[in-house]
Amino acid sequence: MAIVSSEPVRAESAESPEKLKYRARILPQIASRCLICEAPPCTDACSRGLDPAAMLRSVRFDNIAGAAESFDASLCRDCAGSCETVCPAPCGAIEIRRAASLLGRSERRGRADLSIEFCGVKCENPFFLSSSVVASGYEMCASALRMGWAGIVYKTIGCFVPEEVSPRFDALYGSGSFSGFRNLEQISDHTTDENFEILARLKREFPTKVIVASIMGRNEEEWTYLAKRSEECGADMIECNFSCPHMSVHGLGADVGTDPELVAAYTAAVRRGTGLPVLAKMTPNLSHMELPAVAAVRAGADGLAAINTIKSLSGLDLESLEPGLSVSGRSAVSGYSGKAVKPIALRFISDMANCTELSGVPISGMGGVESWRDAAEFISLGCSNVQVTTSVMEYGYRIIDDLIDGLSAYLYEKGMSNVGELVGSALGTICRSDELDRETVEYPKFDRSLCVGCGRCYVSCRDAGHQALGFDRLSRSVRLDPKKCVGCQLCRLVCPAGAITKSKRIPKKKL
Ligand SMILES: Cc1cc2nc3c(=O)[nH]c(=O)nc-3n(C[C@H](O)[C@H](O)[C@H](O)COP(=O)(O)O)c2cc1C
C-alpha cells in the first residue's frame, strides 16, 4: 500500500526568484522517484482529467516549463489525491500534488522549427534512433516513427547472423536509473534478406521519414554488396559500422575504426556500391578520432557518426568473483554507453568539428543523450543530427515528446527560428588547455538563505582543496578565507543545496 500525504495543496502563485530556485531543485527530486509506468495508474485515477504521469516525465526529462504549460495545476487544488493513492512506487507514493503546487502555470511559449537537412536529406527533426536493439524490427521502428522520431538507423546488417551470448547487458546505477550501460551484442540476428525487406517496407510506409541502413561487411566485396542492397531497398542513407567494440570475429567493428587505412578501403568499397549519402560511424576506443574520420571522408564518406560504445568491464561480485555481465562465470571487454559516456562523446565531437580537414562535414552525435539539453549540447558542438539508444532502452520511445518540445521551446527562447542556427554555435568556446585564461579567478559565492549547514563544502575543501573554508559547529555556518581560496570551486560542486554559486571573475593576486 502506497503512503499518501493528506496535506492539502496550497495554490502558489507568485514566481519569486526564491520560488524558482526552490522549484528547480525540488521538482526534479520528486520526479526522479517516479517509476514512469506504462499505462500510468496515476493518470487513469485522476478525476480532473489531468495527465500527472506526463507532467512528471517532462520534469524528469528536463522540460519543467513544458510540464507547466500543459498541466493545469490549479485543478489539483482541494483534490484528495487519488493519483497518489494508486501510485505503486515502492518507497511511498510520488508527491504528485506537491509537484503540481510547485509547477505553477506558464503561458504557452513559442516553438522554433526543428526540421533540418542532414547530408542533403530532409529530416523533420534532428532525432534518430541509433543502430541497436531499439531499431531492430519492423514493428519497433514503425512505432517509433509514428511517435515522432524523424528517422531510424536500423540495427547493423551483415552477411552473417552472429551467435550471441546470454545475458547481453549490464547496468551501473546512479539514483535509481542507469548511469552507464554495458552490452555484448553484435549485429542483427535477422538474415540479410529479412533486414532489407524490413527497410523497404519502412520506407514504403513512412516515405517522409529517414531510413538509414547500418551495415558491416567482412571484406570489400561484402561492403559493396551491402551498400548496393541498401540503395535498392530504398534507404535514404548508409551508416558504416566501423566501431562495434566486441565483435567475436577479429578484423571487424572497432578493429576497422582504429585503422585509418582499413576505414579508407572499406569506405571506398561502400562508395563503389552506392550513390547514397554515406556516414562513417567512429569508435571512441582511440586517442584521435580525426585520423580515421579524415580517412573516411577522403575515401568518399559524406558525414560522420560518433560515438559507438567504449570498451569496458563492469566490476566483480566479490563473493563469487564472478564479473559483471557474466556469461557462465566469465565476461569479456564490451561496449559502454548511456549518461556516463556523454562527456567523452562531446570531446570527440568537438575534436572532429574543430578539425580543419573535416570542416563542413555533417556529424551525427550520440552517446548518453537523454534529455533535450543533452541534445542541444551535441548540436551546439557541431552535430546536425542526434541519435539515441540507451535512454530509449531504459524509458522507451516516448522520450521523444520532451526531446522535441524542450528543444524547440529552448531555441525559440534563444531567438532562433530553426535548429540549424544552433549547430556548432558553441564550438568557439572549446580550445586547447594551453590557450585558457590563467590570469583571473572566480571565487565561490555563498547564499546563506539556501545553506543547510551540512558542512560538505568545508570537508571537501579541507581534505581535497586549499583549506580555505572554516566551519563553525555551533552556528553550522562556513566562512571563506579569500587568501587561501584558489577558486577551484569544489565546494560548489559538492554542495547538496545549491547554495554556492560563482562570483565575478577578477585578476589573480600575484604573490
Ligand atoms: C544494446 C546495444 C546494441 C547496439 N548495437 C549497435 C549496432 O548494431 N550497430 C552500431 O553501430 N551501434 C550499436 N550500438 C551502439 C549505439 O548505436 C550507440 O552508438 C551507443 O550506444 C551510444 O549511444 P547511447 O549512449 O545513446 O546508447 C549498440 C548499443 C547498445 C547499447
Which residue's CA is the closest to the ligand 1 atom numbered 10? 131
Determine phi and psi for 237, rounding to 5 degrees. Answer: -160, 160
The Å distance, Cα 224 to ligand 1 centre, comes to: 23
Is residue 244 part of the annotated active site? The answer reads: yes
The position carrying cell 554495458 is 182
The per-residue pLDDT for 24 is 82
- Residue 317: in which H helix or E strand, if any? strand 316-317
Q: Does any ligand 1 atom lie closer than 6 A to the CB of residue 380?
A: no
Q: Is the pLDDT score of 13 beyond 60?
A: no
DSSP sequence for 406-450? HHHHHHHHTT-SBGGGGTTTTGGG---GGGS--SEEEEEEE-TTT
- What is the per-residue pLDDT across 458-477, written as a single tens digit (0 to 9) for each? 999 999 999 999 999 999 99
Q: Which of 278, 276, 323, 282 is nearest to 301 (CA)?
A: 278
Dist. CA 200–CA 145, nearest whole Å: 15
- How would residue 2 be classed by pLDDT, with cut points 50, 70 and 90? very low
Q: Does any ligand 1 atom lie closer than 6 A to the CB of residue 185?
A: yes
The Å distance, Cα 155 to ligand 1 centre, comes to: 9
- Better-scored residue on pLDDT, 246 or 19: 246
Choosing from 79, 83, 123, 244, which is the catalytic residue? Answer: 244
Which residue's CA is the closest to the ligand 1 atom numbered 7? 132
Q: Does any ligand 1 atom lie closer than 6 A to the CB of residue 43?
A: no
The per-residue pLDDT for 18 is 74
The CATH class for the domain spanning 116-162+185-314+338-429 reads alpha beta
The Å distance, Cα 132 to ligand 1 centre, comes to: 5
Strands 127-129 and 322-323, how do they pair? unpaired
Dist. CA 503–CA 349, nearest whole Å: 30
Which residue's CA is the closest to the ligand 1 atom numbered 28? 132
- What is the per-residue pLDDT across 313-342, written as a single tens digit (0 to 9) for each? 998 999 999 999 999 999 999 999 999 999
Which residue's CA is the closest to the ligand 1 atom numbered 13? 132
- How would residue 6 be classed by pLDDT, with cut points 50, 70 and 90? very low
Q: Which atom of ligand 1 is the closest one to the Cα of 241? A: 11
- Residue 379: in which H helix or E strand, if any? helix 372-380
Whole-number average pLDDT of the chain: 94
- What is the per-residue pLDDT across 188-200, written as a single tens digit (0 to 9) for each? 999 999 999 999 9
Residues of the chain above pLDDT 90, percent: 91
Q: Which atom of ligand 1 is the closest one to the Cα of 188? A: 8
The per-residue pLDDT for 12 is 43
Q: Does any ligand 1 atom lie closer than 6 A to the CB of residue 367?
A: yes
The partner residues of 480 in beta bridges, in order of sequence, read 469
- What is the per-residue pLDDT across 111-136, written as a single tens digit (0 to 9) for each? 999 999 999 999 999 999 999 999 99
Best mutation site among 283, 366, 388, 389 for ligand 1, i.e. most ligand atoms within 8 A of its Cβ? 389
The Å distance, Cα 180 to ligand 1 centre, comes to: 13
Q: Which atom of ligand 1 is the closest one to the Cα of 339? A: 25
The Å distance, Cα 465 to ligand 1 centre, comes to: 39
- How would residue 211 be classed by pLDDT, with cut points 50, 70 and 90? very high
Best mutation site among 130, 166, 346 for ligand 1, i.e. most ligand atoms within 8 A of its Cβ? 130
Q: Does any ligand 1 atom lie closer than 6 A to the CB of residue 195?
A: no
For the chain, residues classed under CATH 3.20.20.70 are: 116-162+185-314+338-429
Spatial contact of 277 and 120, defined as CB atoms under 8 Å apart? yes
Which residue's CA is the closest to the ligand 1 atom numbered 23? 367
For the chain, residues classed under CATH 3.30.70.20 are: 437-507
What's the average model confidence in pLDDT over 388-394? 98
- What's the grid cell of residue 7? 496535506
- How would residue 14 be classed by pLDDT, with cut points 50, 70 and 90? low
Which residue's CA is the closest to the ligand 1 atom numbered 4? 132
The per-residue pLDDT for 419 is 98
The Å distance, Cα 16 to ligand 1 centre, comes to: 43
Q: Is the pLDDT score of 221 beyond 50?
A: yes
Residues of the chain above pLDDT 70, percent: 97
Residues 6+ apart with CB under 8 A from 268: 299, 300
Q: Does any ligand 1 atom lie closer than 6 A to the CB of residue 280?
A: no
Q: Is the pLDDT score of 3 beyond 60?
A: no
- What is the per-residue pLDDT across 167-179, written as a single tens digit (0 to 9) for each? 999 999 998 899 9
- What is the per-residue pLDDT across 426-457, written as a single tens digit (0 to 9) for each? 999 999 999 999 999 999 999 999 899 999 99
- How would residue 9 be classed by pLDDT, with cut points 50, 70 and 90? very low
Spatial contact of 128 and 384, defined as CB atoms under 8 Å apart? no
Q: CATH topology for 437-507?
A: Alpha-Beta Plaits (3.30.70)
